[in-house]
Amino acid sequence: MIMDFIRNNKFVAGVLAILRIYIGYTWLMGGLGKVTSGGFDASGFIQGAIANSTGEGATVQAWWGTFLETVALPNAGLFSFMVMWGEILVGAALILGIFTNFAALMGITMNFAFLFSGTVSTNAQMVLITVFLIIAGYNAGRYGLDRWVLPFLKNHTHIVKEKAKEKVVVA
């Protein structure tokens, strides 16, 4: 009953649109700030998280520190690029309401990476709101471009049509 309400109610879709735009704006501004500053480099942040993963008062779990040290730090340029443009793309997609579920999933993934690295800030709040967007599914993008894009893709993509035919044959 609650899931049906969250996933199908048009009033809830309006509330979700406001939350979606707020989260999108937060991501977009964060990404634009990094891109326009001209010199965003995640290596300092990564090194700080690695330093906080050892010792008695560690605030970052050791397994995450190991990941950061062996994967993220050697590829800090790639991670810097992915953070900057990931924030912009997630923000724009959420504001426009296009591919909302995928954008929310990528946003929550970035939020968890920041949380794992010891950053609190607004990340926990963003995770909570994003969980509602993901649970709501299509309803989160009902008042956005998903309203037109998803049905268009459903009707015009080969893969979806083939799966629909398979279901008809099986039934």
Angle at 19 between CA 79 and CA 3, to 5 degrees: 105
Closest CA to 92 of 42, 44, 144, 27: 27
What percentage of the chain reaches a pLDDT higher than 90?
A: 84
- The whole-angstrom separation of Cα 121 and Cα 61 is 18
pLDDT of residue 162: 64
Least confident of 24-28, 37-41, 55-59, 163-167: 163-167
- Please list the alpha-helical segments (H only) found in 97-170: 100-116, 123-136, 146-156, 158-170
- The whole-angstrom separation of Cα 148 and Cα 168 is 25
**Burial of 48 from C-beta contacts in 10 A (0-12 / 13-18 / 19+):** middle
Q: Which residues contact 148 (CB under 8 A, 6 or more apart)?
A: none
Domain ranges for the chain: 1-146
**82-113: pLDDT as tens digits:** 999 999 999 999 999 999 999 999 999 999 99
| Averaged pLDDT of the chain | 92
Tell me the average pLDDT across 122-130.
95
- The whole-angstrom separation of Cα 98 and Cα 110 is 18
pTM: 0.88
The secondary structure of 42-99, three-state, reads CHHHHHHHHHCCCCCCCCCCHHHHHHHHHHHHHHHHHHHHHHHHHHHHHHHHHHHCCC
**60-78: pLDDT as tens digits:** 999 999 999 999 999 999 9
